[in-house]
Amino acid sequence: MSTHNVNPNGDEHAVVPHGEHAVVPADPIADPGLHYYDERLTDVDKKAERRAERQVAGMFALASLLTVAFIVFYVIVGIHPDDPEDGVNIGDVQVSNLTLGLTLGLALFLVGAGAVQWARSLMSSPEVVHERHPLRSDDETRAAALADFETGTEETGFGRRKLIRNSLLGALALLPLPAVILLRDLGPNTGESPGERKQHTIWAEGVRVLTDVTFMPIRAADLEIGQLVNAMPATFEDLPEHGPERINERAKSPVMLVRMLPEDVHVAPGRENWGVDGILAYSKICTHVGCPISLYEQTTHHMLCPCHQSTFDLSDNGKVIFGPATRSLPQLPIAVDSEGYLIAQSDFTEPVGPSYWERTR
């Protein structure tokens, strides 16, 4: 036998005792019908309607102006220096990114915001119930759908509200232009390409090898077996304090010096004199995607990249023995000068860092 409980809202509901089945009424939930349609201000006030229309058109017009501003900023904020020797100025790149991002981002936002405002305040919004039906509608239904579409077109006022329609068409017509303008960046490169810039570093014959950060010259005799030292070329100190050249060389030139027993080194043909008493120098930039590496395992002479675990054998010409890297670590030929300090014999003989499509070596 059922009893009745009262829930916290004061509604009474039946409780079915254990072992009995509840009797489900034939129509347990009455159809609540459609919500009452709340008229909006723009439905009853012509002034409010015109104000909303101007707001929408204003947003579309502003989107057009911002799209034009994008193109203007693209042209006037140049990131390519007149003299290619100067390299790209990082400050110019930041200003260019900021202005292009702001103008295009705001233009897209305003087109979206204008469309939302148009739908919320001006388009008709009665609630409609549509029963599910087979996917292929009969001809009568299709004709009705077409009629509904035409009614909808009429209710949105797309044909009637010329100001909104034209400003939207203008904004949408201009929006693809930035994509077309940006194609210029795929065009022929004036000056040195990024690939060409990676082909060389500031290492050169006779350049001293300095400890990184403290920039002290390194005596070959001071390095112990098993030791690893991060190093930079002495020419790095001559670069201007600020500017792209220093940043680029900071990324390309670091090397790792390691010392191992000379009998552990497997020298490749042509590299017989690239080391000094078991001291070898390798690029510190991983050949996978360019992470700086330093995780050295003394006993195996393996160097592990922390990013994706590429492992290089420094006793075997920097060969890849594990991981996604496909190229050996570039080796820097080194020697000692008359005072016993380590120097480079030349620049790297191949580009350092990750592979790229226009590599020539």
Place of tokens 């860092």: 353
> For the chain, where are the alpha helices, taking DSSP H only?
41-44, 46-76, 90-121, 139-156, 162-174, 177-182, 194-198, 244-252
Question: For ligand FES, which is the closer residue by CB, 104 or 293?
Answer: 293
The yes or no reply on residue 292 touching ligand FES (CB under 6 A) is no
**Angle formed at CA 99 by CA 94 and CA 105, multiple of 5 degrees:** 120
Among 225, 230, 323, 350, binds ligand FES (CB under 6 A): 323
Instruction: Give exposure, 256-267, as e/b (b: 16+ Cβ within 10 Å).
Output: bbbbbeeeebee
| In the complex, minimum distance from the CB of residue 304 to ligand FES, in angstroms, rounded to a whole number | 9
Q: Which is nearer to ligand FES, 288 or 301 (CB)?
A: 288
Residue type, 317: N
Give the chain's radius of gyration (CA, Å).
36
Candidates 267, 261, 256, 271; CA nearest to 218 is: 256
State in angstroms the smallest separation of the CB of 294 from ligand FES: 12
Range in contact with ligand FES (rule: CB under 6 A) among 94-102, 126-134, 250-258, 307-315? 307-315
Rounded (10°) CA dihedral 99, 103, 109, 111? -170
CB of 354: closest distance to ligand FES in angstroms? 7
Residue whose CB is less far from ligand FES, 198 or 259: 198
Least CB distance from residue 301 to ligand FES, whole Å?
A: 18
Distances (CA, A) of 178 to 59, 73, 175, 206: 19, 11, 7, 49
Report if residue 329 touches ligand FES, rule: CB under 6 A: no
Q: Which of 286, 303, 329, 332 binds ligand FES (CB under 6 A)?
A: 286
- Angle at 12 (CA atoms; ends 6, 15), nearest 5 degrees: 80
Which one of residues 64, 310, 315, 317 is an interface residue with ligand FES (CB under 6 A)?
310
289 binds ligand FES (CB under 6 A): yes
Of 253 and 287, the one with the shorter C-beta distance to ligand FES is 287
What residues contact residue 280 under an 8 Å CB cut-off, 6+ apart? 257, 258, 259, 260, 265, 274, 314, 331, 334
Does 324 contact ligand FES by CB under 6 A? yes
Question: Does 168 sit near ligand FES (CB under 6 A)?
Answer: no
Residue for token pair 């939302």: 116
The token pair at 268 is 């490749």
Q: Which of 291, 296, 319, 345 lies at the binding interface for ligand FES (CB under 6 A)?
A: 291
Q: In this chain, which of 208, 284, 288, 301 binds ligand FES, going by CB under 6 A?
A: 288
Q: Is 239 in the site for ligand FES (CB under 6 A)?
A: no
Residue 325 near ligand FES by CB under 6 A: yes
Q: Is the Cβ of residue 253 or residue 283 nearer to ligand FES in the bound state?
A: 283
Q: Give which of 264, 60, 307 is closest to 162, Cα–Cα.
A: 60
Interacting residues with ligand FES (CB under 6 A): 286, 288-291, 305, 307-308, 310, 323-325
